[in-house]
Structure formats: C-alpha cells, structure tokens
C-alpha cells in the first residue's frame, strides 16, 4: 500500500468517526431534550401497574408498548406469541410471631413467586433459625421436621458487585432444602441491603422429588427483630403463616417487537431490549419498565432525527423474565428457525440509574474493536467496557453467535427496590433514565454502522 493511499484511508476513518461523534451528540441532545421514556414509564407504572406474566397487567402492557413503538415511528411493529405461566398470590397474606406466653407480633411477609400456599386456615410451627445451608444440614431431620425454617442470611456488604448472586440462592433453593428435611414452611430474609419494612419477592423453585412447602420472604426489619427474639427467648418462638395463591394453566402472551429496517444490511440484526413483565408487589418501574422504555427511546430518537442505520435495529420487550424466561427462549427459537443473522444484542435490566459500563461478550477481536469506541461513549457516562456476559433475556440468543452485552448502571440502590412494593415510578430519576437510553442508542448506532467484526 502506498503512503498516499494509507494517509487517505486513515483520513477517511477519522472523518467517519467524526461523523459518528456528531451523530451521537445529536442522539444525546434529542433524548435529553425530548425523551418520551419517562412518560412511557408512567403509563406502564401508573396506568397499568404490576405486570406479572399471565395476568391482566401483562396483557395491557403488550398493547401499550406496541402502541408506543408505533408512535415512536418504528418501521415495523409486531408481537411474538409465547406461552407463559400464570400464578397469582391471592389476598391476605399473614405472618405473626408468637412468643413469651402467647404474645404476638405481626411480621411483614410475602409469598415467594410460584410458591404453594398454606392450608386455608394457615399453619403454625416452631421456628428454627439458620444462617445458611450448612447450618440447616447440621440440624438434620430430627430438629427440622415439623418446624418452620427461618433462613436469616443478610446480603454481604463487602460484595460490591455480586452480593445478590451470593444471597439469592437461599430464596431460590431454600424451600427444597428445608422441605427435604421435613420442614412445613420456610421464611427467608429479603434479598436486599436495605434495612426496611418491605418484603421482597422473587421466584423460587421446587424439586419433583421433594414435597413443596410454602415459601415466604420477610422484610429485613422483621428479620432483625425475629432473629433477636429467637436468640433471647427462653421459650421457642413460633410463627403463624397464611397465604392462598393460585396456579393456573399456562396462557398465551407475547413479546413485543419494533424495528428500524437496515438501509444497507437489513438482514443483520441489532437487538436492544428489556423485560415487560414485573413482579406483582410494586409497579415494576426499575425492574424492568425502565429497560423497556429505554429501548423504545432508541427507536424514537433515531426516527426523530431521520437516521438510517445500516443494520436493522430491533427493540424487544421480552415477556416472562421473572418466572420462566419463556419470552427470551421464544425469541431465540424464532430467530434460529428463521435463520436470522444476529450481530449484536444488549439489554437493560438493572434499573434506571446512570450507566457506568457496558459488558462485552464477543470474541477477543470483537471486544477490542468495540472497546475502541469508548471515547465516543464516555460523554454519556459509559466509563468502562469490560469483558462480560449478557443479562437473562439475551442469554438464550448466544447460541446464534452474536456479540452480547449488558448495560450496567450504578446499581447500588437497585436492590432497595428490587421485587418489592417500593419499586414505583417515584423512585426513578428521569435524568438517569434518559442517560441510560442515550447510552443504548449510541452503542446500537455504532454497532449498526460498523458491525462488530469476527
């Protein structure tokens, strides 16, 4: 290659990135000035509310987000059918501690998602407290049979990034491990750093070889109180628990999809998404209404500016992330059966906080290529692009070979609201919500324009 040609190519590449920088600035200005994300989130949270799979709220959210995508100007809007579980917790969950010659204290509890219920009149049992599964196993069947197991495992404060993963195992597997030893129910400390009065739900799992037992979470304030009572009382502490959930046959629901058709490579797909369903205690604002409206905003901002991305950009509202992942599996199955070429996929499902980094889950060459764009993303608070995998809804798509990412915000407050009645619109900061949308729009534009390589 001659020197003149090399200089020309270098200048051409520099000019291209200058153009990209200007486009990202325009995207940022459009979103930060004219965003519809918070207004759309208001519809999902205040007009609709909780959106547990299979229920009325989820069905309303399908229609609402399809309308939002059409209003945003998506070239194509469609729904993708998926069968999802339908579980409802029912009314009047109760928890009462009985101690000191029949003194009583209300305990704030909620059923874990997909849990079986108690007898109609509730159940009462002596409480045995353990910190972890090792302590539970050490008690053995003799000391657990007929008892209510209280797993009091606080999220470890020294684990800055992995505290949830460390603690959530007691929520997901606690009922099986306690049931295996003959317990009649289990109560777990809510998985949150916050010391508050909100019990946090979340899905739990059963084993077909172990009789299912009712599974509850209690608030961290109540966990502290109950722990102290158990330690200081001469007589055993008992709990009365009552809940009447119902499980129904799977029902038909939908992923919601909106696209901007690629202008040069329409068959190469960039996916950006969040999950449309939420747990039933709050409004699902951070988890994950925010990821859905941010993804819609990517479409809206590009169409508002008249941008024509080279590759197809597809915003996906996944259904049933919380208690089954059926939407993510259906999306990947459909893509595979249609032989779609997925180039890049990213999701937002850690709350509407200011973005901090975007993980890169491609080949080493792809990761290095995309990481070179970091200077263009830093103005929108994307400060790092470490190697890492996707979130739950993007995960099944990996088998098709795209580069995958996860947008990680500053989420130290996320688990204050996660799966709790406190997850409402009022705890979302509009500015941070919009910055997240801007980061998603920027990475979707760059991957559409340049691809991610091999």
Confidence check: pLDDT of 12 > 80: no
Distance of CA 62 to the CA centre of its chain: 17
Q: What are the structure tokens assigned to 41, written together?
A: 């989130």
Name which of 143-147, 278-282, 284-288, 411-415 the model is least confident about: 411-415
Q: What is the average pLDDT across 231-259?
A: 96
Among residues 236, 238, 214, 226, which one has the least CA distance to residue 152? 226
Stated as kind and residue range, the H or E segment containing 273 is strand 265-275
Exposure class string for 23-38: b at 16+ Cβ within 10 A, else e: bbeebbebbbeebbbb
**pLDDT band for position 17 (50/70/90)?**
low
Instruction: Report the Cα–Cα distance between both ends of the chain, in Å, rounded.
Output: 24
Q: What are the structure tokens assigned to 350, written together?
A: 């850690």
pLDDT given at position 112: 98
Query: Tens of pLDDT along 91-104?
Result: 889 999 999 888 99
Residue 20 sits at φ, ψ, to 5 deg, of -60, -45
Strands (E), 145-201: 148-151, 185-189
What count of other Cβ atoms lies within 10 Å of the Cβ of residue 400? Answer: 16
Q: What is the average pLDDT across 214-228?
A: 98
Q: Give me the DSSP letters along 229-289.
A: HHHH-SSPPEEEEE---EEEEEEEEEEEEEEE--SSEEEEEEEEEEE----SSS--IIIII
H helices of 190-349, where? 220-232, 290-304, 326-337
pLDDT given at position 101: 84
Confidence check: pLDDT of 147 > 80: yes
Confidence check: pLDDT of 166 > 80: yes
For residues 155 and 194, give the distance between their C-alpha atoms in angstroms, rounded to a whole number: 9
**pLDDT band for position 234 (50/70/90)?**
confident
pLDDT given at position 7: 37
Query: Tens of pLDDT along 389-433?
Result: 999 999 999 999 999 999 999 988 999 999 999 999 999 999 999
For residues 232 and 238, give the distance between their C-alpha atoms in angstroms, rounded to a whole number: 14
pLDDT given at position 161: 85
Per the CB < 8 A criterion, the answer to whether 309 and 447 are in contact is no
Name which of 13-22, 23-32, 267-276 the model is least confident about: 13-22
Q: Assess whether the previous peptide bond of 288 is cis (omega < 30° from 0).
A: yes
pLDDT given at position 200: 98
pLDDT given at position 92: 86
pLDDT given at position 3: 44
Among residues 322, 328, 272, 220, which one has the least CA distance to residue 447? 272
Q: What value does the mean pLDDT of the chain take?
A: 95
**Which domains are seen in the chain, by residue range?**
25-87+249-450 (3.40.630.10), 90-244 (3.50.30.30)
Q: What is the average pLDDT across 53-63?
A: 98
Query: Tens of pLDDT along 308-351?
Result: 999 999 999 999 999 999 999 999 999 999 999 999 999 999 99
Query: Tens of pLDDT along 104-138?
Result: 999 999 999 999 999 999 999 999 999 999 999 99
**pLDDT band for position 16 (50/70/90)?**
low
Confidence check: pLDDT of 6 > 80: no
């Amino acid at each position: 290659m001659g020197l003149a040609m090399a200089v020309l190519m270098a200048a051409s590449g520099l000019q291209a990135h200058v153009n990209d920088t200007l486009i990202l600035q325009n995207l940022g200005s459009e979103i930060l000035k004219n965003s519809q994300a918070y207004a759309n989130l208001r519809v999902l949270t205040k007009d609709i509310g909780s959106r547990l799979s299979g229920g009325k709220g989820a069905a309303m959210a399908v229609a609402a987000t399809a309308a939002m995508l059409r209003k945003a100007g998506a070239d194509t809007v469609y729904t993708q059918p998926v069968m999802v579980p339908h579980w409802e917790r029912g009314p009047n969950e109760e928890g009462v501690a009985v101690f000191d010659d029949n003194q009583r204290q209300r305990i704030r509890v909620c059923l874990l998602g997909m849990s079986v219920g108690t007898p109609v009149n509730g159940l009462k049992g002596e409480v045995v407290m353990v910190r972890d599964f090792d302590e539970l196993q050490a008690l053995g069947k003799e000391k657990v049979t007929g008892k209510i197991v209280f797993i009091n495992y606080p999220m470890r404060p020294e684990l800055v990034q992995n505290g949830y993963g460390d603690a959530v195992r007691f929520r997901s597997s606690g009922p099986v491990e306690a049931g295996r030893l003959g317990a009649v129910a289990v109560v777990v400390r809510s998985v949150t750093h916050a010391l508050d009065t909100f019990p946090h739900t979340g899905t739990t799992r059963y084993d077909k070889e172990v009789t299912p037992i009712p599974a509850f979470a209690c608030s961290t304030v109540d966990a502290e109180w109950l722990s102290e009572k158990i330690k200081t009382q001469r007589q055993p502490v008992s709990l009365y628990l009552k809940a009447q959930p119902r499980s129904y046959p799977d029902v038909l629901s939908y992923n919601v999809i909106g696209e901007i058709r690629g202008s040069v490579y329409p068959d190469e797909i960039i996916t950006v998404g969040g999950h449309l369903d939420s747990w039933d205690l709050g409004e699902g604002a951070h988890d994950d209404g925010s990821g859905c409206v941010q993804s819609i905003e990517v479409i809206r901002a590009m169409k508002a500016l008249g941008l024509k991305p080279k590759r197809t950009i597809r915003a996906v509202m996944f259904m049933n992330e919380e208690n089954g992942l059926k939407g993510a599996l259906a999306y990947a199955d459909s893509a595979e059966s249609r032989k779609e070429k997925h180039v890049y996929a990213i999701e937002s499902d850690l709350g509407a906080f200011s973005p901090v980094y975007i993980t890169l889950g491609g080949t080493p060459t792809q990761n290095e290529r995309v990481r070179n764009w970091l200077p263009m993303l830093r103005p929108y608070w994307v400060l790092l692009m470490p190697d890492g995998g996707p979130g739950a809804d993007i995960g099944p798509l990996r088998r098709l070979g795209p580069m995958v990412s996860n947008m990680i915000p500053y989420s130290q407050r996320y688990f204050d609201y996660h799966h709790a009645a406190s997850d409402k619109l009022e705890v979302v900061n509009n500015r941070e919500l919009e910055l997240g949308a801007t980061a998603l729009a920027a990475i979707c534009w760059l991957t559409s324009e340049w691809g991610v390589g091999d």
